[in-house]
Structure 1
Amino acid sequence: MRNLDPVHYTSPDIHRADIDSIFARSWQLIGPASRLRQRGDYIATEIAGQKVFVRQTRDGIRAFRNVCRHRGARLLPEGTGRCNTIRCPYHQWVWGEDGSLLNVPWWGDDPDFEMSDWALDTVEWDIWRGLLFVAIDPAQSLEAQLGDTIPELADEPLETFQWTCEEVLTFDANWKIYTDNFVEGYHIPGIHPEFHAAIDFDAFSTTAHDGLVRMTAPPKQGLFYRGKWLWMWPNWTLSLFEGGMNTSRINPIDHRRTELIYNFYFADTSPETSEARAKTIADNLQVVREDFEVCLETQKNYESGGYRPGPLSPRHEQGVKYFQDRLRAVSD
């Protein structure tokens, strides 16, 4: 087993192909469906540069490309909010909550113009166990993509966890470099010494399944993690800790920059536990940030031409092999 050639992490052309063959064709975790509580609530985000938004309407959830049909402006700013109508800030075109064009001010006399021709472009959406996903042009159903994730988490009380906050972290490396790093525990002794001291590393196990890489290790006393970390194809994660979980989406900004969109969920969101929750969030994010430097320096070495693909550990890098095999299958 050998690592992918560096060109897969440094080429703008390969990154463009990734957007078309992976990110546009797969289900992408947007966050908790509970953030769309009332009519008009929306979540606007990017999927590898593709702008989309999901909105609660009178008739339920609808999802669209966040792109004006007139001149391509962004309709809603990234983040969450509430709006009664969808009004383009550029030229004030207005769409209804079903995506139909309602008003085109100051247009002039144009007998060939039909309002019905310019509805917003839709995207697919689905909810699994309270988590909201969208897909621009899905190659398969959400359930099929989740694969072994469904039985893996069947006994976990995900629906009892309440969303508390979202945190976004950015760093200068390709999304695949970070994913290679996430799906193996081989780096833990060198990059995460405190984390290493808090687990039985000799018993660390990584196994690959349908749509899923599972990493487990017996935790020692005092570790906030429960000892199970999951990565799901193509780019989201779920980690369990006592009384809750976090999820993340590994989202490319471009071929050498990535953002991690983390969401945190807890069973107990009472004021009495606010300090403990804040510490759990901070401890989680500290472990994540510890990976950034090694990813950044790896990116530099890949770009320099000084690296040739090395071997993968049969014990610790089964997750890397699985991820890279999936990449190869998509590109073939």
Structure 2
Amino acid sequence: MLNLDARYYVSPDTLLKERSSIFARSWQHLGAASQVAEPNAYLAADIAGYKIFVLRGKDGVLRAFKNMCRHRGAQLLEDGNGKCNGVRCPYHQWLYNDKGDLLSAPWFGDKPPIVLEDWPLEAIHVDVWRGLLFAALDPEMSLIEQLGALPEELADEPIETYMLDRQDKVEFDANWKVYTDNFVEGYHIPGIHPGFFAAIDFKQFATTAHKGFVRMTCPPREDLFYRGKWLWMWPNWTLSLFEGGMNTSRINPLSVGRTEQLYNFYFDDLTPATKAARDKTIAGNLAVVQEDCDVCAGTHKNYETGMFTTGPLSSRHEEGVHYFQQRVAGALGI
């Protein structure tokens, strides 16, 4: 097994192809379904540069749209979540209802008049799985098909009972695939995460690839906030378990050399009595991530030089890397 050639990590043309063949064709995990549980609640997000939003209508129906006005393409809602009674374009004040219908185009003129019914928002796909919210622009398969064997993997975990506590974002200077390669293997733990390494029985660290996801497991020692199980799902989201909760993240490319990781932290108890423990778990998780970001940024810089020649992948520790890279290669036709 050989590492994917470095040129695919630093080429702007490759990222453009990934946008259309991976990010536009896959289901993207956006956050908690509870964020859009109430009428008029919305969640707006960036998917590798594509702007979208999900909105709960007054009729209780969840809908999703491209986050752009049909007039001249202005972004309608800023990224994030909130509530809105209709969607008004900030540029020229076109107004849409919660079903995406155009209600008015003020000061447009009448020679000829605009036909409102001809210009609704462009709908995309939305779905919910076990309390987690997903959207897709043009999916090549259903959400449940993309999840593969994950539903069985998490069948005994009460993930839908966990409540969203906090969101966070980490940005770093590396291609999204550099970070994903790093996430789906534990081989780097002894060198990059000394505190983490001391808290696990690394000799028993195991990585296996399955339909739709990669599983990493390792028995924890004392005082580790993780439960010893980490999951990555195609193409770019993760789920890690700890006592009384979990986190999810979405690995989102901002450019060929910059990536954001969007975190959601969930717990089964959000009372004030558990706040200190929750904060400690979140801080510990983000500290580990920052260690990853630093080494990924250095790796990306080396890839940019064009001097790196493809190296071998460990059959013991990098099965997940091989699985991810093969999925990417298949999507790109390389």
Aligned counterpart, 1:271: 272
Aligned counterpart, 2:118: 117
Aligned counterpart, 1:83: 84
Is the aligned partner of 1:41 residue 2:41?
yes
Q: Is the 8 A contact 2:29 2:250 kept in 1?
A: yes
Q: 1: CA distance between counterparts of 2:6 and 2:303? A: 5
Q: 2: CA distance between counterparts of 1:293 and 1:159? A: 33
Q: Which amino acid aligns with 2:100?
A: G
Q: Deviations over 1:30-81 (max 9, x none)?
A: 0000011321111111000000000111221111010011011110011111
The CA deviation at 1:112 is 5.9
For residue 285 of structure 1, give the secondary structure of its aligned residue in structure 2: helix
The CA deviation at 1:222 is 0.8
Aligned counterpart, 1:4: 4
For residue 291 of structure 1, give the secondary structure of its aligned residue in structure 2: helix
Structure 1 runs of 4+ aligned residues shifted over 2 Å read: 110-113
How many percent of aligned residue pairs carry the same amino acid? 60
Q: 2: CA distance between counterparts of 1:331 and 1:305? A: 20
Q: 2: CA distance between counterparts of 1:142 and 1:76? A: 25
Structure 2: stretches of 5+ with no match in the other structure: none
- TM-score, normalised by the number of residues in structure 1: 0.99
Q: 2: CA distance between counterparts of 1:75 and 1:44? A: 9
The CA deviation at 1:116 is 1.2
Aligned counterpart, 1:213: 214
Q: Which amino acid aligns with 1:90?
A: Y
- TM-score, normalised by the number of residues in structure 2: 0.98
Q: Is the 8 A contact 2:127 2:134 kept in 1?
A: yes
The CA deviation at 1:115 is 1.1
Q: 1: CA distance between counterparts of 2:83 and 2:269? A: 27
Q: 1: CA distance between counterparts of 2:309 and 2:113? A: 59
The CA deviation at 1:215 is 0.2
Aligned 1:134-173 pairs, distance under 5 A: 134-173=135-174
Aligned counterpart, 1:182: 183
Residue correspondences, number = 332
Q: 2: CA distance between counterparts of 1:293 and 1:283? A: 16
The CA deviation at 1:329 is 1.1
The CA deviation at 1:111 is 2.4
CA RMSD of aligned residues (A): 0.7
Aligned 1:123-134 pairs, distance under 5 A: 123-134=124-135
Q: 1: CA distance between counterparts of 2:175 and 2:111? A: 47
